[in-house]
Amino acid sequence: MLLPEALHLALDGPLAELAQHGYARLGRVLSDAGLAALRERAEDLMLGRVSYPGLFFQPDATTGRYEDAPLGLGWQGPSLDYRKLEKLELDPSFREWLQNPLFERIARAQIQDGVVLYRAILFNKGANAGSDIPWHQDGGSLWGLSREPELQIWTALDDAPEGGGCLELIPGSHHAGLVTPLGGVIPRQALAAGAAERAVAVPARAGEALLIHNHVWHRSGRNRPGQRRLAFSACYMSASTRCLRKRRAPREFFRVFD
């Protein structure tokens, strides 16, 4: 799936940008064949043509409002309007992509003591334009971990143009750490301080990948009606990270690259 020229991509520049700005572009890394395979598998999963026990589904809000997206419903029958599919490490095609040699080099450069996967997730903004995703950070006690992950690799499976569902980020916002211990959505009072005025749009073409620090403030708007926006994200972390949840048995994390 990896483009041959991406196999030995120089990493000093992107890793320095990730450290400074909280994100970095890798450019086009996914081949046409890989794109076709992952798009087809995404549709297979949403339409129920392929299924795995334990796969997580979240339907999208019909209103376009993030807060209206239903929780806890899971699979609701064949639909191309699921907002989120998680635990994609269960699928051989997505597992192959998240373990490709380029991503291994990046993860091992950032994480020194073995690498596990917090999540492998498909974000879908369907042809009906999907939902607005508010400013947020990916971490905090909401995630229930003994230490904070700091590396996500996000791959565009469809074009994500400016004004059409692309990521927006606030460069350098990760340096201040979490806004709240809980993490997740940024409170309104923090946004009122004017930080969002420094936001930059990061449009991407299908097959491009981005490095994202978990604590950088980011969001995405609705896509253009009739133009789906699929993206796949893998969050890597240290193998020494423990799950702290109490209500259920602690999670065991999938070890990658071994």
For 104-227, strand residue ranges (E) read 115-125, 133-137, 151-156, 167-169, 184-185, 200-202, 208-212, 218-220
Q: Identify whether 78 is part of a domain.
A: no
For residue 252, the model assigns a pLDDT of 93
Q: Which helix (H) or strand (E) holds 38?
A: helix 32-46
What CATH code is carried by the domain that includes residue 38? 2.60.120.620
C-beta neighbour count of 172 within 10 angstroms: 15
Q: Are 235 and 149 in contact (CB under 8 A)?
A: yes
Find, among 252, 254, 170, the residue nearest to 216 by Cα: 170
Query: Which structural domain, as residue segments, surrounds residue 193?
Result: 4-63+84-255
Q: Identify whether 104 is part of a domain.
A: yes
Q: Identify whether 75 is part of a domain.
A: no
Q: Are 46 and 82 in contact (CB under 8 A)?
A: yes
For residue 75, the model assigns a pLDDT of 87
For residue 129, the model assigns a pLDDT of 63
Q: Identify whether 70 is part of a domain.
A: no
Q: Identify whether 69 is part of a domain.
A: no
Q: Are 44 and 93 in contact (CB under 8 A)?
A: no
Give dist(CA 180, CA 197) in Å, integer: 20
Q: Identify whether 68 is part of a domain.
A: no
| Buried/exposed 199-221: b ≥16 CB within 10 Å, e otherwise | beebbbebbbbbbbbbbbbbbbb
pLDDT tens digits, the chain, 258 residues: what are they? 999 999 999 999 999 999 999 999 999 999 999 999 999 999 999 999 999 999 999 988 777 777 767 777 788 899 999 999 999 999 999 999 999 999 999 999 999 889 999 999 999 998 886 788 999 999 999 999 999 999 999 999 999 999 889 999 999 999 999 999 999 999 988 887 777 789 999 999 999 999 999 999 999 998 888 889 999 999 999 999 999 988 888 999 999 998
Structure tokens at 257: 């690259």
Hunting for tokens 């059409």 — which residue is that? 164
With left for phi above 0 and alpha for psi between -120 and 50, is residue 217 left, alpha or beta? beta
DSSP per residue, 18-79 = HHHHSEEEEEE-B-HHHHHHHHHHHHHHHTTSS--TT-EEEEPPTTSBGGGS--S----SS-
Give dist(CA 237, CA 246) in Å, integer: 21
Q: Identify whether 59 is part of a domain.
A: yes
Report the domain count for the chain.
1
Q: Identify whether 76 is part of a domain.
A: no
Give dist(CA 254, CA 117) in Å, integer: 5
Quote the distance between the C-alpha of residue 181 and its chain's center: 21
